[in-house]
Structure 1
Amino acid sequence: MRQRVVRVAVVAALVAVVLLAVPLALAIRSALYADQRDTLERAALAGAVRVSPDYATGDPVELPAPPAGGRLGLYDPQARLRGGGGPATADAPVRRALGGAAVRGRSGGDLVVAVPVSHAEHVIGVVRASSPAAALRDRTLMAWAALLGVAVVALAVAVLVARRQARALAAPLEDLSRHCRAVTEGHLSARAAPSSIAEIDQVSRTHNEMLHSLSELLRREHDFAANASHQLRTPLAGLQLTLESGLEQGGDVRLRPVLVEALAATRRLHRTVEEVLRLSTTGAPPVTGTDGRPLGRVLRATEERWHGPFARVGRRLECSARGVPDDVPVPGGPVTEILDILLDNARVHGRGTARLAVRDLGDALAFDVTDEGRVDGPAERLFERGHSGGDRGTGIGLALARDLAVSLGGRLSLTGGAPTAFTLLVPVHHEGTPEETA
Structure 2
Amino acid sequence: MRRRLINSTLAVVLVVIAVFGLSLVIVESRTIESSAKDSVQSDAVQLIGVVENRIAAGEKVTSATLGRQVEPGRYAVISVPGQAPITLGAPPRGDVVQARQAGAHGETVLVQEPHSEVTRQIGRTLLVILTVALLAIAAAVVLAVQQGRRLTAPLLDLAETAERLGSGDPRPRHRRYGVPELDRVADVLDASAERIARMLTAERRLAADASHQLRTPLTALSMRLEEIIATDDHDTVKEEASIALGQVERLTDVVERLLTNSRDPRSGSAVAFDLDEVIKQQLEEWRPAYRGEGRTISRSGTPGLRAVGTPGAVAQVLATLIENSLMHGAGSVVIHTRVTGNQAVAEVTDQGQGVPPDLGARVFERTVSGRNSTGLGLAVARDLAEADGGRLELLQQRPPVFALFLARAGAEGGDDVGGVAQGRETPEGPEQGPPVLR
TM-score range relative to shorter protein: 0.3 to 0.5
Q: TM-score, normalised by structure 2?
A: 0.46
What's the TM-score, normalizing by structure 1? 0.46
